[in-house]
Structure formats: C-alpha cells, structure tokens
C-alpha cells in the first residue's frame, strides 16, 4: 500500500486525538489497564524472548553472569568484531577475552540462533548505581530448550574452562559502597608450602592429616548436622611463621584466600555480607585479630564469677546482640565476630577454612576460643632444633652432619630466637659452601650473645650488674 504525506498526517492526527481523548476522559485506573494490555500485545507480537543476567544480585556476584562471561570468552567472543582483553597484573594465566559493553556476539545451540549482548543499566536495588548485565535473545518457541538445556550447558562448560585455566586468587575486602564490590582480587602466588615450613615435623604432619580429613568429609558433616567448615587459631610470638603457615595451607588445599581486614568493616551486617560473598573451597583469614577489635574478656568488666556463668552470659549476649540488634548502622562488635565464626551467618554452602592469627591469645574473649568456634588452636613457638634443620636445609643446603649443628641444638634449648630471625641471617649468605659455614657461625654467635645477655640481669638502678 502506497503512503503519501497526507495519509501520514491523517494517521498522526488520529493518534494524537486518541491520546488526548484517553488522557482527558479515561480515569487513571483504566489508562493503566490499557497500557498493560498494550504491552502484553506487543510482547506477544515480538517473535523473540530476552533473558537479562545482572552482574550482581543484590550484594553478591551472580554466578550465572560469571559463567556466561567465561563461556562467551572461550566460544563466541573470538569471532566478534570487537573484543576486550583482560589480564591481571602479575598473572600467569592466558589473556582473557571478554565481550565489551554495548556489543553483541552470536552463538548456536542445537540449531537455535542465540544473540548475546553486553550493556550497562540501572540496578534494581539502588537507582543511583549502574551495573553491567548480559542479554540473551532467541526465538520465542525455543524457551524450554534454552532454560532447560542451554543454561546448564553454559554452567558445565564454564566450570570445565575454569578448571583448565584456574589461577588461585587473593581477595581483600573493600568498602560495601564501592559499586557492589566487596572484594578486590589479585593473583595468589605465595611460594610457601608445608614441606618448607620451619615447624616441628610432627606438628606439620598432624596439620596435613587434619586438612585432608576435613576436605574429604562432606557427607560426614552433613550427616552429623554441622556446617562444612573448620576454624584454626594460630598464635605465638611475631616471626614464628603464622602467615607462612596460612599460605602453605592454602597452597596445600589449592583454595582461594579471602583476607579480611576488620578495621575496614563498618558494621556487623557488612561483615555478614563479606562472608556471604566468599566462594566454596576458600580460606578466610583474619590476621592479628586481637589488634583489629576490642575482643577482650567481657567477664573482666562484670562482678559475676563462675565458669558456667561465663558461658551462659556469653550465649545470652551473643543471641541478643547478634540476632536482634544487627543493622546497617551497628558498628562491628564481638557478637558480630562470634556470629561470623559460628553463628547463623557462617551457614554458607561449601567447604570453608577460617584461620585467625594473634600474638596474644590471652587478650581474646573465652567465647571466641571455645570448641566449635575455634576447632583447633595451633601454637607456633620459637625455633627448635627440628625446625632449624628445615631452615638450614632450605637456605643453606646443610644437613645434620655440619660441625656446628650440635652446638646450635644446645643453644636453641636455652635461647629464644624466631625462625624469621634465623632466616634473615641465612639470607645474607651467598649460597656456596663458604657462605653456608659463615651463616651457621653467625647464628651461633647471635645465640651466644643472647645467652650472655639473658645471664646478665639489671640491678635496681637499671644498670647491668656485670660487663
């Protein structure tokens, strides 16, 4: 049918007249009903269906969005006209291909044409924020195939791709208002492992067996009604290898590491969201917990005495503070940390290992240290002969046959010296035979000096009683 300008003007005039008549003579309720019917009609006339997948679902990352990005980068984006390249600083993983914002790529599944597009739009939770999302468009008659078969196919393919290109990551917490991002990721490439740790071999083997027992007992934890998590408290003087042990455990289990700085957490609710946004198969680390918050013994501030009373009061305070008064405005507190460790907040799906470190365990509230919250407490002390042999073998390639080894063993039983201090002396050698002998001699001289210093006590005036 041929159209001329007079016909177009007549049509536009008719539409404007109808719009004015509906607005002036139809009530608001009827107008809303007509708009709804009109939208439904347009939807039914549209031959395509569109699925929108947001990057964030509230405060947590949408796993389907991540899986779709991985899938598209591996199967579809390579043929797109425009791609976005991504590589982490210091990463050994191959360069990743991503779909740029406001771009489109195509896929095919069982002969069905599928069109993916990436865009940035308003968030459904905060009108002032924008977040990325993916759109999947396909013919309407294939909705069942896409939802029942294509989506599981994407998840399975993405999991397989991630296993082939997996690179473990270290996450540190950011503020909650940072575009929904609670964690800042970086490649985790710490070289520490259980075999190179300067700790007692018996303790090392015990830790290894405990970790293997933990990761292999998913069905057992479900059968006894416990969450699949385990909590460690590492305590001891500075320089005894607490951080190195955390890295060695993560490397042994091949877990990602989530490092929480409690001083950067504004509220108990934010702490809850941090835990909720961690992934299964991860180590959650809180270092120097005694320095992050005031987690001292609450019973020292009360006049009530008795071990049983301590437990009852702790439970009551935990229940009242942790379940009734948690809000976005509430500052982070001991009750929030307790719920974080063992309360309802810790009921996340998947295996998680929580590790807390401290130099002063006596400063922590007993409610934090009770069984069930801290499943195991590991004491890392000053260097002992067995640990020194590990250091000598790692740094100097020196064995028990060295002529100074017996003297070092005897001195270590009398003098306190941390593995970090001994390692620093060893780092000064050049690695050859002469350097190893010199390093061993420096350790002996330092141990002798400390023994002599401990033997000379100060008098009442603060002066040494002997030179």
User: pLDDT tens digits for 299-313?
Assistant: 454 444 444 444 444
What's the pLDDT tens digit per position in 217-254?
888 888 888 888 899 999 999 999 999 999 999 999 98
- Among 248, 305, 258, smallest CA distance to 281 is for 258
Q: Which residues of 207-230 are buried (b: 16+ CB within 10 A; e: fewer)?
A: beeebeebbebeeeeeeeeeebbb
Q: Whole-angstrom Cα distance, residue 355 to residue 287?
A: 8
Long-range contacts made by residues 309-312, C-beta under 8 angstroms, separation at least 24? 310/366, 310/367, 311/367, 311/370
Residue 307: predicted pLDDT: 41
**Residue indicated by tokens 């593995």:** 419
| CA–centroid distance for 178 within its chain | 16
Q: Euclidean distance between the first and final Cα of the chain, in Å?
A: 115
Which of 21-30, 199-208, 233-242 is predicted least confidently?
A: 21-30
Better-predicted residue by pLDDT, 452 or 83: 452
* Highest-pLDDT range among 9-13, 128-132, 221-225: 221-225
Confidence tier at 125 by pLDDT (50, 70, 90): very low
Residue 376: predicted pLDDT: 93
Rg of the chain over Cα atoms, rounded to whole angstroms, equals 32
- Among 294, 282, 286, smallest CA distance to 340 is for 286
Better-predicted residue by pLDDT, 32 or 171: 171
Structural domains present in the chain: 47-164 (no CATH), 171-379 (3.40.50.300), 385-455 (no CATH)
Contact status, residue 432 vs residue 439, Cβ threshold 8 Å? no
3-state SS assignment for residue 341? helix
Q: Whole-angstrom Cα distance, residue 467 to residue 462?
A: 14
Residue 464 pLDDT > 60: no
Q: Whole-angstrom Cα distance, residue 146 to residue 198?
A: 54
């Amino acid at each position: 049918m041929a159209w001329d300008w007079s016909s177009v003007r007549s049509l536009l005039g008719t539409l404007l007249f109808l719009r004015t008549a509906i607005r002036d003579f139809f009530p608001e309720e009827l107008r809303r009903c007509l708009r709804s019917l009109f939208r439904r009609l347009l939807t039914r006339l549209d031959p395509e269906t569109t699925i929108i997948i947001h990057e964030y679902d509230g405060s947590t990352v949408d796993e389907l969005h991540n899986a779709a990005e991985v899938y598209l980068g591996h199967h579809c984006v390579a043929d797109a006209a425009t791609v976005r390249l991504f590589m982490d600083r210091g990463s050994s993983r191959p360069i990743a291909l991503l779909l740029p914002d406001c771009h489109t790529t195509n896929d095919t599944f069982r002969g069905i044409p599928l069109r993916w597009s990436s865009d940035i739009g308003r968030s459904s939770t905060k009108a002032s924020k924008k977040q990325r999302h993916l759109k999947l468009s396909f013919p309407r008659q294939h909705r069942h195939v896409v939802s029942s078969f294509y989506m599981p196919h994407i998840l399975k393919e993405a999991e397989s791709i991630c296993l082939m290109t997996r690179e473990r990551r270290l996450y540190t917490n950011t503020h909650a208002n940072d575009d929904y991002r609670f964690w800042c990721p970086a490649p985790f490439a710490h070289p520490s492992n259980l075999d190179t740790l300067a700790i007692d071999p018996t303790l090392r083997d015990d830790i290894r067996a405990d970790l293997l027992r933990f990761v292999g007992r998913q069905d057992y934890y479900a059968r006894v009604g416990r969450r699949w998590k385990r909590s460690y408290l590492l305590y001891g003087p500075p320089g005894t290898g607490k951080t190195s042990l955390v890295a060695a455990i993560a490397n042994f289990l091949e877990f990602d590491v989530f490092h929480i700085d409690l001083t950067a957490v504004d509220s108990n609710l934010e702490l809850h969201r941090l835990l909720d946004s961690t992934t299964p198969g991860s180590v959650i680390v809180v270092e120097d917990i005694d320095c992050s918050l005031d987690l001292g013994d609450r019973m020292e501030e009360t006049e009530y005495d008795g071990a049983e009373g301590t437990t009852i009061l702790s439970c009551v305070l935990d229940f009242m503070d942790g379940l009734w008064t948690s809000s976005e405005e509430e500052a982070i507190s001991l009750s929030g940390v307790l719920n974080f460790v063992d309360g309802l907040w810790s009921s996340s799906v998947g295996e998680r290992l929580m590790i807390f470190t401290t130099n002063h365990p006596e400063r922590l509230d007993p409610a934090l240290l009770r069984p069930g919250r801290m499943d195991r407490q590991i004491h890392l002390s000053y260097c002992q002969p067995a640990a020194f042999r590990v250091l000598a073998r790692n740094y100097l390639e020196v064995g028990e046959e060295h002529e100074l080894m017996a003297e070092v063993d005897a001195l270590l039983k009398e003098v306190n010296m941390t593995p970090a201090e001994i390692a620093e002396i060893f780092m000064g050698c050049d690695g050859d035979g002469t350097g190893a002998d010199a390093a061993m001699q420096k350790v002996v001289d330092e141990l002798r000096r400390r023994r002599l210093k401990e033997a000379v006590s100060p008098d009442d005036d603060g002066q040494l009683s002997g030179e």
